[in-house]
């Protein structure tokens, strides 16, 4: 059975490892930062320790499964992770933070079960991913942005060409488009599937399209 001293050491190690990951999320202003990551990891470690001790206490009296309680951490952390995922305009944010919370829960389980080296190595790999791969991704890897633009406008024959002209100024490619009718016979809804080289000019593009004659609404929407 794990001694009380070793249990305390495992909980402290959980704080240190998860704190490193949480610090990176905190300095980037994420909703789940330093404290959240630490609490998730401590909780996971405690649950793992509890599971192991229950197994030792009732060994020979029944057939307890030491992994049963700990397994609920993996599924339960999904609810917390879902809370960090936010919809902002035409994009979804928080997926990396949700993944880091899930990973930190795994680190806590590893520490609680005494797998120190895998826990430390995993923490190092997570930090490399969050700090350095982000830099590589931004500086080396070209990333295209795929978004949907929905426009409600008067049914002018030249309107699509006017919109295409604005998009071409920003090197935006129309991958596909759909025209829908409205309750008004002289109006239509355009749904454009676009490929952008950057999302830096999103607001500027929409602003210019809204200034076109006959345009009532223009908004970015989530891709289906």
pLDDT in tens, 159-198: 888 888 999 998 888 888 888 888 887 888 888 888 888 8
Helical spans, DSSP H, in 33-158: 34-57, 66-83, 95-112, 116-139
Domain that holds residue 204: 145-221
pTM for the predicted model, two decimal places: 0.64
155 pLDDT more than 70: yes
Nearest to 198 by CA among 123, 119, 145, 138: 145
Question: Is there a single domain that holds both residue 113 and residue 161?
Answer: no
Question: Is there a single domain that holds both residue 53 and residue 124?
Answer: yes
Domain of 165, CATH number, reads: 3.30.70.260
Measure the CA–CA gap between 54 and 104, rounded to whole angstroms: 23
Question: Is there a single domain that holds both residue 100 and residue 189?
Answer: no
Measure the CA–CA gap between 107 and 21, rounded to whole angstroms: 11
pLDDT band at 122 (very low <50, low <70, confident <90, very high): very high
- Total of domains in the chain: 2
Question: Is there a single domain that holds both residue 9 and residue 111?
Answer: yes
- Tell me the average pLDDT across 110-124: 94
Question: Is there a single domain that holds both residue 122 and residue 17?
Answer: yes
Of 139, 157, 183, at which residue does a domain stop? 139
Say how far residue 108 (Cα) sits from the centre of its chain: 20
Nearest to 109 by CA among 35, 53, 48, 167: 48
Q: What is the pLDDT of residues 31-90, one digit of tens each?
A: 778 898 999 999 999 999 988 887 776 666 666 666 677 778 877 887 777 777 665 555
Question: Is there a single domain that holds both residue 149 and residue 58?
Answer: no
Burial of 224 (0-12, 13-18, 19+ CB in 10 A): exposed
Question: Is there a single domain that holds both residue 131 and residue 152?
Answer: no
Question: Is there a single domain that holds both residue 12 and residue 121?
Answer: yes
Question: Is there a single domain that holds both residue 57 and residue 96?
Answer: yes
Question: Is there a single domain that holds both residue 47 and residue 129?
Answer: yes
Question: Is there a single domain that holds both residue 121 and residue 173?
Answer: no
Tell me the sheet residues that pair with 181: 188
Q: What is residue 33's predicted lDDT score, i.e. its pLDDT?
A: 83
Instruction: Count the neighbouring beta carbons within 10 Å of the beta carbon of residue 54.
Output: 15
Measure the CA–CA gap between 157 and 177, rounded to whole angstroms: 15
* Terminal-residue alpha carbon distance, the chain: 52
Question: Is there a single domain that holds both residue 89 and residue 51?
Answer: yes
- Lowest mean pLDDT: which of 3-12, 98-107, 129-138, 196-205? 129-138
């Amino acid at each position: 059975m794990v001694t009380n001293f070793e249990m305390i050491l495992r909980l402290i190690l959980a704080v240190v490892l998860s704190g490193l990951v949480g610090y990176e999320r905190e300095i980037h202003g994420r909703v789940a930062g330093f404290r959240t990551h630490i609490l998730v990891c401590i909780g996971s470690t405690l649950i793992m320790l509890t599971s192991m001790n229950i197994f030792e206490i009732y060994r020979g009296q029944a057939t307890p499964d030491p992994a049963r309680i700990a397994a609920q951490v993996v599924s339960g952390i999904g609810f917390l992770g879902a809370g960090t995922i936010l919809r902002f305009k035409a994009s979804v944010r928080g997926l990396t933070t949700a993944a880091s919370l899930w990973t930190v829960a795994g680190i806590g389980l590893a520490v609680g079960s005494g797998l120190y080296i895998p826990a430390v190595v995993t923490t190092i790999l997570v930090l490399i991913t969050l700090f350095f791969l982000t830099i590589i991704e931004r500086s080396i890897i070209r990333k295209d942005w795929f978004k949907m633009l929905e426009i409600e406008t008067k049914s002018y024959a030249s309107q699509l060409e006017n919109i295409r002209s604005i998009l071409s100024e920003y090197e935006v490619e129309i991958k596909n488009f759909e025209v829908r009718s409205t309750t008004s016979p002289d109006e239509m809804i355009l749904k454009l599937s676009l490929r952008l080289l950057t999302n830096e000019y999103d607001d500027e593009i929409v602003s210019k399209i809204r200034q076109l004659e006959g345009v009532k609404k223009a908004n970015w929407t989530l891709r289906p």
